[in-house]
Amino acid sequence: MITLYQFARTWGLPNLSQFCVKLETYLRMHEIPYQIVETLPLKAPRGKLPFIDDEGLRIADSRLILHHLQSKYGQGEDAHISPEQQATAKSFQRLLEEHLYWISMVTRWDYGESNWQANKQAIFGVLPPIARDVAAAIYRKRIKKQILGHGIGRLSDPEKFALGSEDIDSLADFLGDKPYFMGAQPTSLDTSAYGILVNIVGSPIESPLKDHARSRQNLYDYCRRMQAEFFPELPWPAD
């Protein structure tokens, strides 16, 4: 049985970590049995969550974990879509995970005190008060450094959100009225898309990015549908 190490559930979402939502959605999509251990990234093999333990084999990074699951459990790399469609899906996955993700990280770690407090409580609230403040301060410094290193942190807020809105529009226009991003059946692109988008439209983190994403009704409806299909035990967070 696979053990999935991830943050505790919060905010009425499967996870506050976009990559933990991605992985757990993938496991459910392919009906691969798993158990959850709630943890923080401090002890993760690559210092990030999620990671898994599959009968003693520890793997970190959702992309590598998906490769492992696909080879071990026979779930082909979205075998029902053509190589050309796979290339499109992969490009959107990179847009989500390597660009839009970082703009959403800005909104949590470096965009207003109330967002920071909500983020801090959700991640570090499990720790005793002093440890909570110390860990939160260390991580805030660390994540802000990553945001700067990525490059997005060097732009002004309006510039960041304009770029984020471009991503949102591309995703909304591509999804159109299809049930899933690549058509009638879900693919691994949907695991990334739901993980990142639900954390923008369904979390209590307020920003122009959230406002814009919520204005694209098909993306909002998509997140609700994905949650109802793969996490039926979690009612949609109140609007």
Ligand X SMILES: N[C@@H](CCC(=O)N[C@@H](CS)C(=O)NCC(=O)O)C(=O)O
Binding site for ligand X (CB under 6 A): 17-19, 41, 47-49, 61-63, 142
Task: Locate 214 and state its tokens.
Answer: 């919520």
Q: How far apart are CB 142 and ligand X at their closest, in Å?
A: 6
Q: How far apart are CB 17 and ligand X at their closest, in Å?
A: 4
CB-nearer residue toward ligand X: 62 or 187? 62
Q: How far apart are CB 45 and ligand X at their closest, in Å?
A: 11
Q: How far apart are CB 59 and ligand X at their closest, in Å?
A: 10
Nearest to 70, CA basis, from 101, 104, 27:
27
The SS3 assignment for 73 reads helix
CB-nearer residue toward ligand X: 17 or 25? 17
Q: How far apart are CB 217 and ligand X at their closest, in Å?
A: 26
CB-nearer residue toward ligand X: 49 or 122? 49
Sheet holding 2-6, edge to edge: 34-38, 2-6, 51-54, 57-60
Beta-ladder partners of 191: none
CB 208 within 8 A of CB 166: no
CB-nearer residue toward ligand X: 80 or 142? 142
**Residue 7 region by backbone torsions, left for phi larger than 0, else alpha for psi between -120 and 50, else beta:** beta
Task: Locate 218 and state its tokens.
Answer: 């098909």
CB 26 within 8 A of CB 188: yes
Task: Locate 233 and state its tokens.
Answer: 């035990």
Alpha carbon distance 120, 54 (integer Å): 30
CB 16 within 8 A of CB 10: yes
Q: How far apart are CB 63 and ligand X at their closest, in Å?
A: 5
Largest distance between two CA atoms of the chain: 53
CB-nearer residue toward ligand X: 62 or 227? 62
CB-nearer residue toward ligand X: 105 or 213? 105
